[in-house]
Structure 1
Amino acid sequence: MPAEVDAGLATLSDQLILATVLLYVFAMIGYALSLAFGRPQAQAESKPESVLAAVGGGTAAASSVPDAASGEGGNRTEKEPSAWMAWAGPIAVGLTWLGWATHLASILTRGLSVGRWPWGNMYEFVVAMCFTAVSAFLFMHLRYRVRFLGAFVTVAAALGLGFAVRYLHVQAGPVVPALDTYWVAIHVSAAIIASGLFTVAGVSGILYMVRKDTAVRLPSRQDLERVAHRAIVIGFPIWTFAVIAGALWADKAWGRYWGWDPKEIWAFITWIAYAAYLHARATAGWKGKAAMIVQIIAFGCLLFNLVGVNVFLGGLHSYAEVP
């Protein structure tokens, strides 16, 4: 390991990543238990209506509200969740916040160990992207109460981190001169933030496509589509900025804004795919399955741009240090 690298901090960063994976896995188990044995999603959504009916029209009005789990008024087919199971969801959220804290600490210690921005290679980029995805989920949960998505975001983050540790990990060290610039803080940071938001949207879209109508314990398709759309609306302008900043960096580093490098091409293809999704929703009124298919295709373009290009195509961006 190079002399300028703080070996202690670098080792601590690796250990914190492993702890983060474990915390995300435990959080995922908590979310899964909450979904499997807690109150059904549709029934939980109908509960406020039942309360309002009871306040406004007495017991008879309340009993007239159909049972969301069974589809028939007054015939309950779902048992009330156990008292201890009511804590599974809040505990999962707490574990997610704890994992988020260790995740952040691992990124900070990695950067401090080498004295640079901690996303100079594919390992560091994927770690940061997973952190952004979890951060986006926690922010949306605080604002929109989307705890139902926790099981799927945490498992995606755990798998992403596991993939990074197993196949992309490189020892902490200095970067090539082309990456030793303030443009890393501008271009790469924007790409990481947008990628994390797109990951939340992608997870929501995949869940939308595989969800069955009888899965009363899963979030409704309307909720999943709403989460995906909000994440893309926020992430798309950030990705646009990342593409523009990348062109400016390319001009400074290589003397041209555009050179048909594979990374540049696929970053633009990804931009077009997400633009197509937003355009279709805004002008043609595409919603539901058609819109989800477009955004899942866009998410696939994003994943290939982030990982596939570096592994299979190379180019001027091949200094990402993929083992």
Structure 2
Amino acid sequence: MTERSDVLPQHELLQEKSWIKKLTVSDWLFAAVVLAAAVAAQIAVPHHMDGYETAILWASAAVAVALGWFHKPLRWFMLGTAAAAALAVWLYAGDIARAGDQISAATGKAQGKFLLRYFLSSQSAIMWQCALTVLAFAAYTFGALAAWRVHKRRPDAPSGNIVLNLGTQLAWAGAFAGFTGLLVRWHESYLLRPDAGHIPVSNLYEVFILFMVITALMYLYYEKKFSMQKLGGFVYGLMCVLAGFVLWYSASRGAHQIQPLIPALQSWWMKIHVPANFIGYGAFGMAAMFGVAQLLALRGSRFLPDAAQIEEAMYKAIAVGFLFFTIATILGALWAADAWGRYWSWDPKETWAFIVWLNYAVWLHMRLVAGWRGKVLAWWAIIGLFITAFAFVGVNMFLSGLHSYGQL
């Protein structure tokens, strides 16, 4: 019996193995390490978690595994920051004074641990994040200028160089320091107030750190996916503004001091609403910087990546940001119903969150349905950053309402 000759071959996408069959031994080993860490956390701190928070812990572990499988550099980032935070917890040994610089009367030496005082305490790690952010911006900028000079002499020369690569490494190091600082700050809150410790996303200082970490990680993913190291200077220009705010806010307002949660924020909803919100904010901020680069590319700069490629990255960033901002808005409505008895009250923060959501919804509609391309979308993404910034900070500064606890 002969085979039928009229059977059509399958499309190449249908011939691919399922994602589960593509996983390697290292993928499963990473998953095992993450799950073991979750078990250790469950055993070590059950007195700090209710049923909802236990569910968040295991959902976070599942998300961490998925992210590590999706983008392999993230697995080393997550395991490394967890190890650094664990080292800090061990060095503290239950005593917050170990990060201080008080001099012992008996020995004449500083009582604090060297690694804690200069590297691993939350404030030290966050200061390192700010410094590394500025250094990454300098490396990306000077690396791009050096590549531009080579490009003028030899248009066919490779676009990368060692300084741009250094910028990438500094960007990873800055994100590492910032996320480590947040994890350690979480532990420090319990050392200061065992009955009032909390996840560090409760005020503008803490969420700005989170904003910087998320923006950095998202940019590093897009940088690798689209081979766009030359756009690092644009994104890290924005990051330097954020770092400057963190330094100013810490020095002038003492915002780095850990404060107890106000009653409105004493909810497990905060642990999922705020991170989802800032994935959206980080994506929108990065998309605006891509918009600036696209405008330059459209003016004829052959040195930057192709304008269409930049726009594709900008579109994907806004699409991801819109998804997570939508999730955050839904979670915020559920939190409001739990706390205040109603899902929506047209509070200034809620109103401006809706304006942000509507702005990017129309942006996506005009690109996907109406077919808009080019300069108008780039300018729209840039203007969208100012709308987002007002919703994020401006409302806290100039308006009052149910969310007034976030004032500067």
Q: Under TM normalisation by the shorter chain, which class is it?
A: 0.7 to 0.9
Deviations 1:119-164 (A, max 9, x none): 1011111111111100101112232222122112222112202112
CA contact (8 A) 1:208 1:225 kept: yes
- Normalising by structure 2, report the TM-score: 0.65
Q: Do the aligned partners of residues 79 and 144 (structure 1) sit closer, same or farther apart at CA in structure 2, a change above 3 Å counting?
A: closer
CA contact (8 A) 1:250 1:256 kept: yes
Aligned letter for 1:204? F
After TM superposition, give the deviation of residue 35 of structure 1 in Å.
1.1
Superposition map of 1:151-300 within 5 A: 151-167=233-249, 170=255, 171-210=257-296, 213-300=299-386
CA contact (8 A) 2:283 2:321 kept: yes
> In structure 1, how many angstroms separate the alpha carbons of the residues matched to 2:170 and 2:384?
31
**Which of 170, 174, 177 is residue 99 of structure 1 equivalent to?**
174
Aligned letter for 2:328? A
> In structure 1, how many angstroms separate the alpha carbons of the residues matched to 2:351 and 2:95?
35
After TM superposition, give the deviation of residue 26 of structure 1 in Å.
1.4
Highest CA radius of gyration, 1 or 2?
2
Aligned letter for 1:227? A
Report the aligned-residue RMSD: 2.6
Q: Structure 1 stretch 153-162 or stretch 274-283: which is displaced more?
A: 153-162
After TM superposition, give the deviation of residue 213 of structure 1 in Å.
2.8
> In structure 2, how many angstroms separate the alpha carbons of the residues matched to 1:9 and 1:105?
15
Aligned letter for 1:275? A
Identity across aligned pairs (percent)? 34
Aligned letter for 1:108? L
SS across alignment from 1:198:
helix
Partner of residue 75, structure 2: none
**Which of 185, 203, 206 is residue 124 of structure 1 equivalent to?**
206
Aligned letter for 1:109? V
Aligned letter for 1:139? Y
CA contact (8 A) 1:9 1:112 kept: no
1:26 and 2:112 matched: no
Aligned letter for 1:134? A
> In structure 2, how many angstroms separate the alpha carbons of the residues matched to 1:209 and 1:32?
18
Q: Do the aligned partners of residues 236 and 79 (structure 1) sit closer, same or farther apart at CA in structure 2, a change above 3 Å counting?
A: closer
Count of residue pairs brought into register by the alignment: 285
1:13 and 2:122 matched: yes
Partner of residue 3, structure 2: none
> In structure 1, how many angstroms separate the alpha carbons of the residues matched to 2:168 and 2:133?
10
- Normalising by structure 1, report the TM-score: 0.81
SS across alignment from 1:284:
coil
After TM superposition, give the deviation of residue 86 of structure 1 in Å.
2.6
1:87 and 2:166 matched: no
Q: Do the aligned partners of residues 229 and 40 (structure 1) sit closer, same or farther apart at CA in structure 2, a change above 3 Å counting?
A: farther
Aligned letter for 1:197? A
SS across alignment from 1:38:
helix
SS across alignment from 2:292:
helix
Point out which structure has higher relative CO (alpha carbons under 8 A, 6+ apart): 1
Flag structure 2 segments of 5+ consecutive residues without an equivalent. 1-93, 101-116, 190-196
After TM superposition, give the deviation of residue 77 of structure 1 in Å.
6.4
